[in-house]
Copies of this chain bind each other. A is one copy, B any other.
Amino acid sequence: MTQTTFLYAQSGGVTPVINASAAAVIETARAHGARVFAARDGIIGALEERLIDTAQIDDDQLNALAATPGGVFGSCRFKLKDPDGQRAEYERLIEVLRAHEVNVFLYNGGNDSADTSLKLAEFARQRSLDLKVIGIPKTIDNDLAVTDNCPGFGTVAKYVATSILEASLDVMSMASSSTKVFILEVMGRHAGWIAAAGGLAGQQDGDPPQIILFPEVPFDRDAFLAAVQKSVESHGYCSIVVSEGVRNAEGQFLADAGSTDAFGHKQLGGVAPMVADLVKQSLGYKCHWALSDYLQRSARHLGSACDVAHARAVGVRAVELGLVGKSGVMPVIRRVSDQPYEWAIEVASLADIANKEKTLPPEFIRDDGFGITQAARQYLAPLIQGEDFPPFVNGLPDYFQPALELLPTRLPAWSAGG
């Protein structure tokens, strides 16, 4: 029996725990005597034959890798769609995989990548190639079908809930004579999962955040302002989480519908400064706002132990599936029970995941549209449990920042751009 060779590639936006999946893939393959190459910069690197032999990462470094945010091998947003429309890309990818004797392609991404994986698996099957394709789930957006949740989301959820809790304690300290309204803008252009996670900061009616603005709920200016005023009058302050994906009644993103500047440029600011301006102009309250952007997506210093365990488990299972010749599948997380939270890894067909999007269910949003329900809390709470802190050296996380060498190429140059 010949040695199995995996090619592992990261796809799309990175997460705080995607490297935990990568480390689990490498460890598991190593334990089975298999090789793992990694594509530099995702599928573009695979196409351009920029490959890394992970044998250069020793066991200690693997532990560091598992606790490092970002994507250590690089990622990209480049969608391989239909083999008929992008035949050259599919042919080239197969050529690279064969040149390096790769028999299993592991694609760590979201629903676009699941689609690519599915098509590549089918392409290989039709040609009777010795190539299996397995997806590994990741996305902070938590919008993949079938799986209970997506590795990456739990840590972002923990960061957002912690951040709005902390900032709320700050604003309530001084609200009697100063800033009364604080607004935190979070990611999630299409679904309110991350915004909903902010709701975990409060337990009871009136706890911060008093208001969450979801992409799923059309923005109602008057109802919003009334809710802000009510919170300030009842509690002395108002703490708000707003999703970047909030839209007005016409379906436009609030951030885009806003004013242009004196030069006719769209304002670059997100939705938080617009909401702050609205509150200030309409109610006269002093506002502060924060926009956490990549900070929320990379906050591995506050890793959710649950999330890290999920990220590792899907990496382990993906390798095991590859070793037994499965293809066109993805290991997913199944929830066995809410409390205590029990979960298991199962295997799903990529056909059930590709291009599908799981949005926040209506029963997770409070009747007034400004908060989460008990059902949401029950779903979300387990995902932020436990602290998986990285090692710290000299006061900072000791992240893995290797200089990784590329494998010698075996094929003529090829540019993914051309």
Q: Could you list which residues of chain A lie within 8 angstroms of chain B, going by C-beta atoms? A: 10, 13-14, 16, 41, 44, 68-72, 74-78, 158, 161-163, 165-167, 169-174, 176-178, 182, 184, 200-201, 259-263, 265, 267-269, 273-274, 276-277, 280-281, 288-295, 297-302, 304, 306, 381, 384-387, 389, 392, 394-397, 399, 401
Contact status A304-B267, CB under 8 Å: no
Give Cα A173 to B72, complex, Å.
7
Contact status A387-B394, CB under 8 Å: no
What are the residues of chain B within 8 A of A259 when measuring CB–CB?
A: 261-263, 265
Known contacts: A41-B176, A76-B177. The answer to whether A290 contacts B293 by CB under 8 A is yes
Give Cα A196 to B74, complex, Å.
28
Give 8 nearest A-B pairs by CB, closest first: A70-B169, A384-B395, A269-B269, A166-B298, A71-B173, A290-B293, A259-B261, A170-B298
26 A-B contact pairs sorted by A residue (CB < 8 Å): A16-B166, A44-B177, A74-B172, A74-B174, A77-B174, A77-B177, A77-B178, A162-B301, A163-B295, A166-B298, A166-B397, A167-B294, A169-B399, A169-B401, A201-B396, A259-B265, A260-B261, A261-B267, A268-B276, A268-B289, A269-B273, A289-B291, A290-B292, A381-B394, A381-B395, A387-B392
CB distance from A239 to the nearest CB of B (A): 10
What are the residues of chain B within 8 A of A385 when measuring CB–CB?
A: 394-395
- Nearest B-chain residue to A12, judged by Cβ: B174
Contact status B273-A166, CB under 8 Å: no
- Nearest B-chain residue to A154, judged by Cβ: B395
